[in-house]
Amino acid sequence: MKKIYLILATIVLVSCAQTQEGESLDIKKIISEAYPTVDIKDIKKIDNNFHEIIINNQIYYATNDGKFLIIGNVIDLQTKESITENTKMKQRLSVINGIKKENLVIYKPKKTKHVLTVFTDTSCPYCQKLHNEIPRLLENSIEVRYILFSRNGDGVEAYKQLVSAWCSEKKVEAVERLFEGEILDDEDNCENPLNKNSEYASLLSVEGTPTIFLEDGRVIPGYQNSKNIIAFINK
């Protein structure tokens, strides 16, 4: 059965590529010749219509005749699935799975059925609201893994407080105290993951806190209460 796609996109390139009927085009070569400085991370053929290309962590689609490069959301009208979002989910998981557990602040239930990975900033009011939902999430066997992230950069007091919490002997307790509004004493500046966490945030297009990632790569931007999060997990 012939696949039909809905493409919500902008055409960004018209190529002058031509080929004899039946000849296979080298799509990667065509793009590289048109844009010599781009870094093509991955390229794969979707079907007889399109190739999917990853350029600088951005998803593009090239028509298989080599004429057009397209940026946008491709939806399979038969399955109603977004091909683009499926690729983004895989990209997110690749980043999240590369974060070492020892660089996270983890709240574990008695038995873990699901895992949330959350970019959080203790100075963020909506992060505070989400933090208040942790007991209900744990009751529902949902593990919460915090990535400490200073949303306003490393030149603010909130960043220093996150570093102090991380350098504390009891990290979870120190994070709790920050969420309760306490000011921590400056700890000796230990090796910490805060700057690396900012790099992860950039790779994952995190623009604010909290940002919640599910174990399948889906993302919940912003605050949601525990009831909505559970519904989203089970969706």
pLDDT in tens, 103-136: 999 999 999 999 999 999 999 999 999 999 999 9
pLDDT at position 147 over 50: yes
List all residues 6 or more positions away from 183 whose beta carbon is below 8 Å from its beta carbon: 161
Span 25-39, average pLDDT: 87
Q: How far apart are CA 42 and CA 23, in angstroms?
A: 22
Q: Which domains does the chain have, with CATH numbers?
A: 5-84 (3.10.450), 98-233 (3.40.30.10)
- Report which residue type is found at 77: L
Span 195-221, average pLDDT: 96
CB-CB contact of 51 with 45 (8 Å)? yes
For residue 50, give both structure tokens: 């399109």
Q: Distance between the two ends of the chain, CA-based, in angstroms?
A: 28
List all residues 6 or more positions away from 26 whose beta carbon is below 8 Å from its beta carbon: none
pLDDT in tens, 207-218: 999 999 999 999
pLDDT at position 15 over 50: no
50 CB neighbour count, 10 Å cutoff: 22
Give the model's pLDDT for residue 56: 82
CB-CB contact of 83 with 60 (8 Å)? no
Percent of the chain scored above 70 by pLDDT?
89
223 CB neighbour count, 10 Å cutoff: 19
φ, ψ (nearest 5 deg) of residue 154 = -95, 10
Q: Residue 88 — pLDDT band, cuts 50, 70, 90? A: very high
Q: How far apart are CA 148 and CA 195, in angstroms?
A: 10
Span 87-91, average pLDDT: 95
Span 7-18, average pLDDT: 49
Comparing 29 with 225, the larger pLDDT belongs to 225
When the pLDDT of each residue in the chain is averaged and rounded to a whole number, the result is: 89
HEC letters along 21-90: CCCCCCHHHHHHHHCCCCCEEEEEECCCCEEEEEECCEEEEEECCCCEEEEEEEEECCCCEEHHHHHHHH
Q: Residue 187 — pLDDT band, cuts 50, 70, 90? A: low
Q: How far apart are CA 107 and CA 103, in angstroms?
A: 13
Whose CA is closest to 148, among 167, 132, 133? 167
CB-CB contact of 221 with 208 (8 Å)? yes
Q: How far apart are CA 14 and CA 10, in angstroms?
A: 12
Span 35-64, average pLDDT: 89
Q: Report the predicted TM-score, pTM, of the whole model to 2 decimal places.
A: 0.85
List all residues 6 or more positions away from 224 whose beta carbon is below 8 Å from its beta carbon: 130, 212, 232
φ, ψ (nearest 5 deg) of residue 190 = -95, 170
Q: How far apart are CA 175 and CA 161, in angstroms?
A: 9
